[in-house]
Amino acid sequence: MTKPQRYSAGAMFFHWTIAVLVIWNWRLAENANHAGDRAQAMAIFADHKAIGILILVLTVFRLIWRLTHPVPPLPGNYAPWERILARTTHIVFYVLLLALPIGAWLANSLAGRDIDMFGLFTIPALPVGRNEGLAETIFGIHGTGGEIMIYLIGLHILGALKHTFFDKDGGIFRMLPFGRVGKERSSLR
């Protein structure tokens, strides 16, 4: 019995939904940082925070999905450094997808702020007490983590394009429901 070369429909759903939300949230943060006034920035950041919590929830479900559904093996033609880079990138993605929203929730809590979920309900502040200085430090780390996430997305896209168009192993089609996934070539690397 051969292992599937393509990710499951559930994995594709989580991958693409979270990817779109992360990029959208990055753009919201950029827009908020360049807003004309504080009220406009806070309104944009309210959406940014709500989407961050949504990303956190989807990531938890994505991890559960990943643990309960088989993941296709990396193609056999990957060099050892490509295998290490692919695995490391995915681990860092998961860490950031969890740590960024949790860190922002903690920072908001330290600043005494709840998180409004698009006017539908409110996520209360964590019971951590107020500490504006620590909140600002965590927000700074959150911003740096967000920048790392964007660079990592760029690296991920470049890798998918390399494998699809140069190596011709169907890299990007492993995470799409269409397209030709390249034939698995065995390798003893």
pLDDT by residue (tens digit) across 77-95?
A: 889 999 999 999 999 999 9
- List the chain domain ranges: 9-175
Encode burial over 34-72: b for 16+ CB neighbours within 10 A, e otherwise.
Answer: eeeeeeebeebbbbbbbbbbbbbebbeebeebbeeeeeb
Q: What is the per-residue pLDDT for 66?
A: 95
Name the residue among 90, 91, 104, 85 with its Cα closest to residue 145.
Answer: 104
Q: How confident is the model at residue 187 (pLDDT cuts 50, 70, 90)?
A: very low
Quick check: 186 pLDDT over 50?
Answer: no
* DSSP-derived secondary structure letter, 1: -
Which backbone phi and psi does 122 adopt, to 5 degrees? -120, 135
**What are the DSSP calls for 111-157, one per residue?**
TT--EEETTTEEEPPPSS---HHHHHHHHHHHHHHHHHHHHHHHHHH
pLDDT by residue (tens digit) across 147-161?
A: 999 999 999 999 999
Mean per-residue pLDDT, 154-170? 89
Helix, strand, coil percentages (3-state) for the chain, rounded to 5, are: 65, 5, 30
Q: What is the per-residue pLDDT for 74?
A: 85
pLDDT by residue (tens digit) across 3-19?
A: 668 999 999 999 999 99
pLDDT by residue (tens digit) across 82-137?
A: 999 999 999 999 999 999 999 999 999 999 999 999 999 999 999 999 999 999 99
Let me know: does 178 contact 11? Beta carbons within 8 Å: no
Quick check: 166 pLDDT over 50?
Answer: yes
Angle at 62 between CA 56 and CA 63, to 5 degrees: 95
